[in-house]
């Protein structure tokens, strides 16, 4: 048995990471990796409240459209009007569900998977038909590409489309978290909605797959992400040190929660 995997690939102002992060998925799609079918829908729009700086868009949408023209990916959703993350990802979700995918897998352009990562994760998803959602264990690079957080970052990233009991994946209630609708087949207005966190969830162990995550480096992208999170009323675990002009842990964040600062490990050199 094989899966039909729908990939939501989100990328905006990340041209420097585009080739590294998208190429493994293009290769998986072309080769039908491990017998699976891959349908890739890229999303490249500005998110509401995210300051991309004076330089603006760096050509990521155009690059993705070129991949589509070359028939390397299936669809690109782009535009210049800022959207909520849930709306942007939701549009891609609807496209993929209409294409008949079995699972929806969210990938951001600052996440680097290997073919082995994809194969191992897909094998686990295929073997767990009653699990609604899966968390992926990322190796979170921090400050620079030679260091990472010891504790993996485990966001919800994979959702099964159809769940026993008449539930279907319907939309996003948070940036990466989805909800399911019951009685969706009747098209009724009084659908019963259930959040993914209230359904069976499995975390992929880092020993099996531990893709790299490039979010928290000392660069302008991380500085903008901190502003974005603060602007949404969140407490960010990082801050930008204006004196050193570098990323730093937000110590009050941890003090408030009676937590120690995260452990940072040095990665082995190639």
Tell me the CA distances in angstroms from 237 to 98, 245, 257, one per residue in order.
38, 17, 11
DSSP bridge partners of 265: 148
pTM of the predicted structure, to 2 decimals: 0.92
Whole-angstrom CA distances from 167 to 51, 161, 236 are 37, 8, 34
- 4-216: CATH class: alpha beta
Non-local CB neighbours of 255 within 8 Å, separated by 6+ positions = none
Domain boundaries, the chain: 4-216
What is the per-residue pLDDT across 43-78, written as a single tens digit (0 to 9) for each?
998 887 766 554 446 788 999 999 999 999 999 999
Per-residue pLDDT of the chain (270 residues; tens, 9 = 90+): 799 999 999 998 888 899 999 999 999 999 999 999 999 999 998 887 766 554 446 788 999 999 999 999 999 999 888 888 899 999 999 999 999 999 999 999 999 999 999 999 999 999 999 999 999 999 999 999 999 999 999 999 999 999 988 899 999 999 899 999 986 565 555 568 899 999 999 999 999 999 999 989 999 888 888 888 888 788 899 999 999 999 999 999 999 999 999 999 999 886
Q: Which residues pair with 241 in a beta bridge?
A: 246
* Distance set, CA 12 to CA 59, 84, 105, 167, 226 (Å): 8, 14, 18, 32, 16
Q: Are 88 and 47 in contact (CB under 8 A)?
A: yes
Q: Please name which of 192, 173, 195 lies closest in space to residue 181, comparing C-alpha atoms.
A: 192
Q: What is the 3-state secondary structure (H, E, C) of the chain?
A: CCCEEEEEEECCCCHHHHHHHHHHHHHHHHHCHHHCEEEEEEEECCECCCCCCCCCCCCHHHHHHHHHHCCCCCEEEECCCCECHHHHHHHHHHHHHHCCCCEEEEEECCEECCHHHHHHHHHHHHHCCCCCEEECCEEEEEEEEEEEECCCECCEEEEECEECCCEEEEEECCCCCEEEEECHHHCCCCCEEEEHHHCCEEECCCCCCCCEEEEEECCHHHHHHHHHHHHCCCCCCEEEECCCCEEEECHHHHHHCCCCCCCEEECCCC
């Amino acid at each position: 048995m094989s899966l039909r995997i729908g990939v939501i690939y989100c990328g905006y102002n990340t041209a420097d990471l585009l080739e590294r992060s998208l190429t493994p998925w293009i290769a998986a799609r072309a080769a039908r990796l491990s017998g699976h079918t891959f349908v890739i829908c890229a999303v490249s729009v500005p998110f509401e409240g995210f300051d991309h700086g004076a330089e603006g868009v760096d050509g990521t949408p155009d690059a993705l459209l070129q991949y589509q023209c070359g028939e390397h990916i299936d669809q690109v959703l782009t535009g210049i009007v800022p959207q909520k993350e849930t709306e942007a990802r939701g549009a891609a979700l609807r496209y993929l569900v209409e294409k008949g995918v079995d699972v929806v897998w969210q990938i951001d352009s600052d996440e680097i998977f290997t073919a082995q990562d994809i194969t191992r994760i897909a094998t686990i998803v295929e073997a767990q038909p009653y699990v609604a959602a899966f968390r992926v264990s990322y190796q979170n690079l921090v400050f620079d590409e030679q260091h990472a957080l010891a504790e993996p970052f485990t966001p919800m990233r994979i959702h099964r489309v159809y769940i026993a009991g008449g539930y279907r994946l319907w939309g996003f209630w948070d940036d990466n978290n989805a909800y399911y609708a019951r009685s969706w087949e009747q098209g009724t207005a009084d659908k019963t909605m259930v959040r993914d966190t209230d359904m069976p969830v499995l975390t992929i162990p880092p020993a099996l797959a531990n893709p790299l995550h490039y979010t928290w480096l000392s660069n302008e992208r991380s500085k903008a992400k901190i502003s974005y999170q603060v602007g949404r009323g969140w407490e960010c675990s990082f801050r930008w040190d204006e004196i050193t002009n570098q990323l730093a842990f937000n110590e009050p964040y941890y003090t408030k929660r009676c937590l120690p600062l995260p452990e940072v490990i040095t990665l082995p050199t190639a």
